């Protein structure tokens, strides 16, 4: 019998005593059910039951209750008449972050805690899907919980033995890009969908000649009839080869190969055979197991897109935190992983984004080096603050609208981004740098910077 354990950390909100709620999770996700059963012996429990390691009470969160929450503690006020049924109180739909309509007077008796639970590895083995069944399965549906969020996972060594993780990571990507230092700058093809392969050729040519490091398909661009993947691969690789012959530099292009398993493998082989240097997979759309399956067969860096991650991360009282999610994606083999960016167009705060970047950069099981990808509304005006707060250039910064929306076109957008990051890393004020680089001044005039009070902008 192995003594290895997975330790899962949760945010738990409940009207029950905190210890009782924690035990309900441990029981439901291991040997227990809603009632005692004959063969759940003390010996069986000693070997397979999950163990509550700690319950650290936290201040009230103010989060709305999950629908169907059991309120065993009756809020203060007049007592109910005998015979009143009050086991479930309708809570309505929980609000998303940023809304402020929750009636906190309904929360009397609700408590919050950080709970750590140990699951024996013998229960499921070093298997990502079966791990998730234990640490993130039916527990999200327990009525005893007004809120339940998986915050983090501590994984034992057998997972490293089973999953090799990223093949390229930061260093391998730098080698392929011939960019040994400095931030790596990239963009997304815009418009996201609708361009024909020949129109795409012109976009790629302009970006590559401007000195971009990385270009990728939008996650909406798969294998549509108007621009089949095979046609895009042929056009893009041909154009990149021509630019490389003229300039000596060949940007990395991440083709979106997300699809059913058999098609995903064929898509990878298509890109590899044509001389492509990167493939993109939408992690949540194929699942961690499919990503790990691809990693075993993949000869190219895997650009891990986070599309649909908000389903797990946005509601503060429910789901899987990005810290835990990113560990699973790294184990499965993502060489690059989207973290969002500062002052982004989505819901995350700068502090949440910085925590995600830190999570991706932290060693996992002694390795699993993955490149953080900053995206969503990135412009030259964000470079200095991003560098100041991350203190690293081991980043892939993607500017879609921030490059394609430049007043003088994408080529000028690349120049502006490069100048902004050069100024950031050298300690030069952006305003001073802009006097020397007209393209940067144009970008600052249009997009501004939220950190100098001049606003910010691409959608």
From first to last of its 459 residues, the chain has per-residue pLDDT tens of 678 999 999 999 999 999 999 999 999 999 877 677 778 888 888 888 999 999 999 999 999 999 999 986 444 344 444 333 334 434 445 555 555 455 555 678 999 999 999 999 999 999 999 999 999 999 999 999 999 999 999 999 999 999 999 999 999 999 999 999 999 999 999 999 999 999 999 999 999 999 999 999 999 999 999 999 999 999 999 999 999 999 999 999 999 999 999 999 999 999 999 999 999 999 999 999 999 999 999 999 999 999 999 999 999 999 999 999 999 999 999 999 999 999 999 999 999 999 999 999 999 999 999 999 999 999 999 999 999 999 999 999 999 999 999 999 999 999 999 999 999 999 999 999 999 999 999 999 999 988 875 444 443
Pairing of strands 184-188, 336-338: unpaired
Distance CA(133)–CA(119), nearest Å, equals 11
Distance CA(233)–CA(266), nearest Å, equals 13
* C-alpha atoms less than 13 angstroms from C-alpha of 325 in its C-beta half-sphere: 25
**What pTM did the predictor assign?**
0.90
- pLDDT value at position 31? 82
∠ CA 367-373-374, nearest 5°, is: 140
Cα R_g (the chain), whole angstroms: 25
- pLDDT value at position 448? 94
Q: What is the side-by-side strand order in the sheet with 5-14?
A: 51-58, 111-120, 5-14, 145-154, 318-320
Residues belonging to the chain: 459
Among 248, 216, 246, CA closest to 232: 216
- pLDDT value at position 95? 56
Distance CA(356)–CA(365), nearest Å, equals 18
Q: Where is 56: in which H helix or E strand?
A: strand 51-58
Distance CA(22)–CA(5), nearest Å, equals 17
Distance CA(359)–CA(337), nearest Å, equals 11
Residues contacting 174, CB < 8 A, separation 6+: 180, 181, 184
Distance CA(117)–CA(320), nearest Å, equals 15
């Amino acid at each position: 019998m192995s003594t290895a354990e997975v330790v899962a950390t949760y945010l738990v909100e409940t009207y029950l005593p905190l210890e009782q709620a924690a035990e309900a999770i441990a029981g439901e996700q291991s040997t227990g059910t809603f009632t005692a059963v004959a063969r759940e012996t003390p010996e069986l429990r000693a070997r397979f039951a999950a163990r509550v390691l700690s319950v650290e009470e936290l201040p009230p969160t103010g989060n709305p209750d999950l629908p169907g929450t059991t309120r065993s503690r009756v809020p203060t006020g007049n007592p109910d008449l005998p015979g009143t049924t009050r086991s479930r109180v309708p809570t309505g739909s929980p609000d998303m972050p940023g809304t402020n309509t929750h009636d906190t007077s309904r929360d009397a008796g609700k408590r919050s805690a950080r709970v750590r639970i140990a699951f024996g590895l013998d229960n499921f083995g070093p298997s990502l899907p079966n791990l998730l069944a234990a640490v993130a399965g039916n527990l999200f549906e327990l009525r005893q919980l007004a809120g339940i969020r998986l915050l983090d996972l501590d994984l034992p060594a057998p997972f490293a033995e089973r999953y090799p993780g990223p093949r390229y990571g930061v260093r391998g990507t730098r080698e392929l890009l011939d960019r040994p230092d400095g931030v790596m700058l990239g963009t997304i093809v815009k418009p996201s969908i609708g361009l024909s392969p020949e129109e795409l050729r012109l976009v790629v040519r302009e970006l590559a000649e401007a000195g971009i490091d990385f270009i990728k398909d939008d996650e909406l661009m798969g294998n549509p009839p108007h621009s089949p993947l095979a046609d895009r691969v042929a056009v893009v690789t041909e154009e990149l080869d021509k630019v490389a012959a003229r300039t000596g530099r060949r940007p990395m292009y991440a083709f979106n190969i997300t699809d059913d398993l058999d098609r995903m493998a064929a898509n990878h082989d298509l890109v590899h055979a044509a001389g492509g240097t990167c493939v993109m997979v939408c992690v949540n759309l194929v699942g961690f197991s499919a990503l790990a399956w691809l990693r075993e067969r993949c000869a190219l860096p895997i650009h891990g897109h986070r599309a649909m991650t908000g389903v797990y991360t946005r509601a503060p009282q429910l789901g899987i935190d990005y810290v835990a999610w990113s560990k699973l994606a790294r184990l499965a083999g993502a060489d690059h992983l989207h973290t969002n960016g500062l002052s982004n167009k989505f819901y995350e705060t700068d502090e949440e984004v910085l925590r995600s970047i830190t999570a991706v950069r932290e060693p996992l099981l002694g390795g699993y080096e993955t490149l953080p990808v900053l995206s969503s509304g990135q412009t030259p005006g964000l470079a200095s603050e991003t560098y100041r707060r991350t203190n690293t250039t081991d980043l892939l910064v993607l500017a879609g609208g921030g490059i394609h929306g430049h007043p003088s076109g994408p080529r000028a957008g690349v120049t502006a981004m490069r100048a902004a990051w050069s100024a950031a890393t050298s300690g030069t004020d952006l305003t001073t740098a802009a006097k020397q680089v007209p393209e940067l001044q144009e970008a600052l005039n249009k997009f501004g910077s939220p950190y100098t009070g001049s606003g910010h902008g691409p959608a």
